A and B are shown apart, each in its own frame.
Chain A
C-alpha cells in the first residue's frame, strides 16, 4: 500500500517467506443493540438521567456563587477551609455532572454503530514529489541563488552575523567580572564574632554545652543595611555557620587545633549542592544534609562519611577575644558551599 521510494537496508522480503496462516477477515462483528435502542422506556430513562445531570450542574453552579458570597474570609483557618471546601465542591460537582451527562448521552443515545473510513498513504506519489521539486527548482532558478554566488555568500554572512548581537544583549543578565572571587569570600575576618543567627547575641565558650549545636552568623552581618536585601540573603547562603561542642577526646589533632576546648565552627552550607545542613546526630558527631543525605563527621574535620558530597565541610579557625567571646581567626581558607570550576584557583 505504500508508495514509499525508500529502500530497506536489506530487504526483509528476502527472508524465509512468512509462514503464519492468514485467516480470512470475517469483517466487523455486529454489535448487539443497546437497551436504549430497543426499549423506548429505557431511552426515556436515559434522557431523564442526562437532563437531571445537566440540571444539577446548573444548580451547583449557582451553589458556587452562594458559597462565594456566603463565606467571606475572616482570617480564620476554619473559615478558609469551609470556603475552599464549599467552592470546590460546588464547582467540582457542576463540571463533573456536565461532563458525565455528556458522556452518558454519547454512550446511551447517540448511535454506536461504528463508522469506517479509508486511509490514504501519507507518502506522496512520485509524480507529486517530482512536481513539488520542480516548482522548488524553478523558484531557486529564478532567484539566481545558485548562480549569483556573490549575493548568496554575502546573504549567508549576514544571516550568521545577525544573531551574534543577540547573544551579547544577554550580557547584563548578571555580573561577569570576578564571579569566582565573590563566591570564595565570606563576611568572616580576623576577629569577627560568632553570633547566634536569630538573637545576634555573641557567644562565649561556656555558653555551649557538650553536644550542643548553635546556628551562627558573623557579627558583621548585622551591619549590612536593611535595604540591601540581596546582600543579606547572599550572606545567609554563604557565611552561615554551625557552632558545635564535641568532647575534645573525640577530636583528631588537626580538628582540635581549629577550635577552642572542643568548640568547632563549620560552614553550614553543604559541599554537594549547597543545602543548609541541619540534621545533627550527637552520639556519632555526624551532621547530615536533609537534601541528599551527605554525612559529615564533625569530630574528624568535617570528613565525608557517606553520600554524594566529595569535600569535607570547611572549618573556620576560632579564638577568643579580649572580652571572652568566640571570634574567627580569619576567613575560611577555601570557598564554602558547592564546588565550582575555578574553586581551587581562587
Chain B
C-alpha cells in the first residue's frame, strides 16, 4: 500500500463505511476514455465555464446591478462629474480601483467568448463524425440547449455594465420584442418595467445572468457529462476497435492527469490573453444614453449572425386590418432563430428518418468523408451561419474593402442561399473523392514516389501495399444501404398504407447514400492485390519481357 493511500485511508474509510463508496469506485476509477484531440473540444467548453463561474463570482463582489443615477467621482479623469448609472460606475470602479478587477473582467469576457466558441466547434465534431446517432440523441439535444443558453448568458452579461455599446444592444432587444404580434408592446413594458429603458432592466438581467441561466447550464452540463460517462465515449473505427468495446486510457491516472492538465492550460491561456489583449474597454464608450450611439457598433461574435440577419432582411412590414406586422424584425430575430435551432436539435431524427432506422447503437464514429451528404449539409450550415455572421459586419467590410454597404447587403441576401448550396456540392464531392482515394490506396497500395526503370526501358512508380492495420482502418466503415422502393401493395394485394412515407424515405436515402462508393468485394480486393504482385514481379523479373 503506497504512502498516499495510507495517508488518505482514514477519511476515505469514514466515507466508504457510510455510503459504500467502494462499490461505485471499483471499476469506475479505471474507466477507459478514448483519446483523440477532437474529443477535448467539449472539455475546453467545460473548463472555460468553470473559469466563468470563478471570475464571475469575483465580479459580483463589486458590481452594483442598479440603474440609479450617480455622479462619477472615481479615478478615471475623463468621466469625472458625469452622471451615470451605478452599474456603469461600479464597472469603472472594478476596472480602475480594484486590483485585479480589470484582469477578472477581461478573464470573464475572454472565457465567455471561448466558452461559446468551444461549444460550437465541439458541436461540429459531434455532427461531422455522426456521434449524435443512437444512443446519443439526448446529449445532442442537451448540447443544443446549452449552446442557446450560452448565447443568453453572453447577451445578459454584456448588457450589465450599462455602457453606450451594451445599451444599444438592449435598444435592439426592445425593438425585437415590440415586433412580436399582439403581445409585443405589453411584453416590452413588462421586461423593462415600464417604458424603455426604465430603471429595472439591469437588476432583472443580473439575476438571470448570475443565477437562472448559469444554474440551468450547470444542471444540464451535469446531465451531459453523466450521460457521456454512462453511455461511454464513442471512438473512431480501426484495428481492434469495435462497436462493442472502448479503447483508451484509464481515468486514474492518465485521463485524470490530462483532464486536470487541460483545465489549467485553458485557465492559463485565458489569463495570458487577458493580460495582453484588451477587451471591451467600457470606459471608452461612456455611459448609456438612448439618444447616442457610436458608429460601427458590433455585438460579441456569437450574436453577430442574429444582427446580420436583421441587417440583410428586406423591409417587409405589412399593415393588416390596421395592425402592424414587422416582418422585417420578426422573421430575422424571432422566427428564423427558432426555426434554425429546431432544425439543429431535430437533426438526429431527420437523418434517421432519411437513412432508415437500423435499430442499432452506434458507438463507432463516421469519418466525415464516410457520409458525404451529411458532411455537405454541415458545410452548408456553417457557410450559411458564416454568411449571416459576415452580414453582421457589413459596415466593417464596406469600410475595409471600400465596397458600398448596399452592394454587400444585396450580395448577402442572395449569397446566403447560393453559397451554402455551392459549398454542399463541393464538400460532398470532396468527401467522395477522399473515399475513392482510400479505396485506391487499399487496392493498389501507396504511391512511394520511387520511379523504377525496367531493363527494357519502361518507367513505373513503385506502389507499396499498405499494412494490414491500415487497410482495415481504411475499410472499417459500413457499406451504404439505400432503402428500397416500397411496393404499393403487399403480396395479398392490400394497399400499403405507408407507401407514401416509404417512397419519401427511399428518395431521401438515395440522396444521402446513393453516391457513396461501395467498398470493394473480396474478389476485387484479391484481384487487385494479385495484379500488383504480378506486375511488380514481372517488372523485377530476371528476364526482360518479350516485345
Q: Residues of A with Cβ closer than 8 Å to B? A: 1-2, 4, 6-10, 12, 14-15, 18-21, 23-29, 68, 71-75, 80, 83-85, 87-89, 91-107, 110-112, 114-119, 121-123, 170, 173-176, 179-180, 182-183, 197, 215, 217, 229-230, 233-234, 236-238, 240, 268, 272-276, 278-279, 290-295, 304, 306-311, 337-345
Task: Write out the residue numbers on chain B whose beta carbons fall within 8 Å of the beta carbon of A19.
Answer: 479, 518-519, 521
Let me know if B269 is at the binding interface, CB within 8 A: yes
Q: Which of B239, B482, B520 contacts A29 (CB 8 A)?
A: B239
Known: A25-B240, A273-B175, A273-B179. 15 other contacts (CB 8 A): A9-B505, A15-B482, A18-B478, A19-B519, A25-B242, A73-B75, A83-B102, A88-B274, A99-B264, A100-B261, A114-B248, A115-B30, A234-B194, A293-B395, A310-B316
Number of A-B contacts (CB under 8 A): 398
Asked if B257 and A290 sit within 8 Å, CB to CB, the answer is no
A-B residue pairs, 10 tightest by C-beta: A88-B275, A273-B175, A96-B268, A20-B519, A99-B264, A237-B290, A75-B75, A102-B261, A92-B271, A310-B317
Q: Do A96 and B264 form a contact, CB below 8 Å, given A117-B31, A237-B196?
A: yes
Q: Which of B67, B296, B314 contacts A229 (CB 8 A)?
A: B67
Asked if A234 and B232 sit within 8 Å, CB to CB, the answer is no
CA distance A70 to B185 in the complex (A): 54
Q: Do A215 and B199 form a contact, CB below 8 Å, given A95-B268, A117-B246?
A: no
Asked if B197 and A290 sit within 8 Å, CB to CB, the answer is no
Let me know if B297 is at the binding interface, CB within 8 A: yes
Task: Write out the residue numbers on chain B whose beta carbons fall within 8 Å of the beta carbon of A344.
Answer: 319, 322-324
Task: Write out the residue numbers on chain B whose beta carbons fall within 8 Å of the beta carbon of A173.
Answer: 190-191, 193
CA distance A236 to B69 in the complex (A): 15
Max chain B Cβ within 10 angstroms of own Cβ: one of A97, A229, A291: A291
- Interface on chain A toward B: helix, strand, loop, or mixed SS? loop
Task: Write out the residue numbers on chain A whose beta carbons fall within 8 Å of the beta carbon of B163.
Answer: none
Q: Which of A2, A20, A114, A182 contacts B359 (CB 8 A)?
A: A2
Task: Write out the residue numbers on chain B whose beta carbons fall within 8 Å of the beta carbon of A106.
Answer: 249, 253-254, 257-258, 261
CA distance A272 to B328 in the complex (A): 8
Task: Write out the residue numbers on chain B whose beta carbons fall within 8 Å of the beta carbon of A103.
Answer: 257-258, 261-262, 265
Asked if B525 and A21 sit within 8 Å, CB to CB, the answer is yes
Task: Write out the residue numbers on chain A whose beta carbons fall within 8 Å of the beta carbon of B32.
Answer: 115-117
Q: Which of A7, A121, A338 contacts B175 (CB 8 A)?
A: A338
Let me know if B360 is at the binding interface, CB within 8 A: yes
Query: How far, in Å, is A176 (CB) from chain B's closest CB?
Result: 6
Task: Write out the residue numbers on chain A whose beta carbons fall within 8 Å of the beta carbon of B253.
Answer: 106, 110
Query: How far, in Å, is B520 (CB) from chain A's closest CB?
Result: 6
Q: Residues of B with Cβ closer than 8 Å to A? A: 30-32, 67-69, 75-77, 95-100, 102-103, 106-107, 135, 168, 171-172, 174-176, 178-186, 188-199, 231-232, 239-250, 253-254, 257-258, 260-272, 274-276, 289-297, 307, 310-317, 319, 322-326, 328-329, 332, 356-361, 363, 394-395, 405-406, 409, 468-469, 471-472, 475-476, 478-479, 481-484, 486, 498, 501-502, 505, 518-522, 524-525
Task: Write out the residue numbers on chain B whose beta carbons fall within 8 Å of the beta carbon of A80.
Answer: 95-96, 102
Task: Write out the residue numbers on chain B whose beta carbons fall within 8 Å of the beta carbon of A337.
Answer: 175
Asked if A116 and B297 sit within 8 Å, CB to CB, the answer is no
CA distance A197 to B76 in the complex (A): 25
Asked if B324 and A10 sit within 8 Å, CB to CB, the answer is no
Q: Do A2 and B519 form a contact, CB below 8 Å, given A103-B262, A215-B291, A339-B179?
A: no
CA distance A94 to B271 in the complex (A): 10
Asked if B178 and A340 sit within 8 Å, CB to CB, the answer is yes
Asked if A236 and B248 sit within 8 Å, CB to CB, the answer is no
Asked if B328 and A293 sit within 8 Å, CB to CB, the answer is no
CA distance A273 to B193 in the complex (A): 19
Asked if B275 and A92 sit within 8 Å, CB to CB, the answer is yes
CA distance A26 to B292 in the complex (A): 70
A277 to chain B: closest residue by CB? B293
Asked if B359 and A99 sit within 8 Å, CB to CB, the answer is no
Query: How far, in Å, is B261 (CB) from chain A's closest CB?
Result: 3
CA distance A215 to B289 in the complex (A): 13
Task: Write out the residue numbers on chain B whose beta carbons fall within 8 Å of the beta carbon of A276.
Answer: 290-293
Query: How far, in Å, is A80 (CB) from chain B's closest CB?
Result: 6
List 7 interface pairs A-B (beta carbons < 8 Å), by A numbering. Answer: A92-B275, A98-B261, A115-B247, A119-B232, A173-B193, A230-B67, A234-B290
Asked if A290 and B258 sit within 8 Å, CB to CB, the answer is no
CA distance A75 to B363 in the complex (A): 58
Task: Write out the residue numbers on chain A whose beta carbons fall within 8 Å of the beta carbon of B295.
Answer: 278-279, 290
Task: Write out the residue numbers on chain B whose beta carbons fall within 8 Å of the beta carbon of A110.
Answer: 249, 253-254, 257
Task: Write out the residue numbers on chain A whose beta carbons fall within 8 Å of the beta carbon of B476.
Answer: 23
Asked if A20 and B328 sit within 8 Å, CB to CB, the answer is no
CA distance A341 to B189 in the complex (A): 13
Asked if A4 and B196 sit within 8 Å, CB to CB, the answer is no
Task: Write out the residue numbers on chain A whose beta carbons fall within 8 Å of the beta carbon of B502.
Answer: 9-10
Task: Write out the residue numbers on chain B whose beta carbons fall within 8 Å of the beta carbon of A111.
Answer: 254
Q: Do A338 and B268 form a contact, CB below 8 Å, given A106-B257, A112-B249?
A: no
Task: Write out the residue numbers on chain A whose beta carbons fall within 8 Å of the beta carbon of B323.
Answer: 341-342, 344-345
Query: How far, in Å, is A231 (CB) from chain B's closest CB?
Result: 8
Query: How far, in Å, is B482 (CB) from chain A's closest CB?
Result: 7
Asked if A84 and B103 sit within 8 Å, CB to CB, the answer is yes
Query: How far, in Å, is A306 (CB) from chain B's closest CB?
Result: 5
Asked if B290 and A290 sit within 8 Å, CB to CB, the answer is no
Q: Which of A101, A122, A308 contacts B328 (CB 8 A)?
A: A308
Query: How far, in Å, is A120 (CB) from chain B's closest CB?
Result: 8
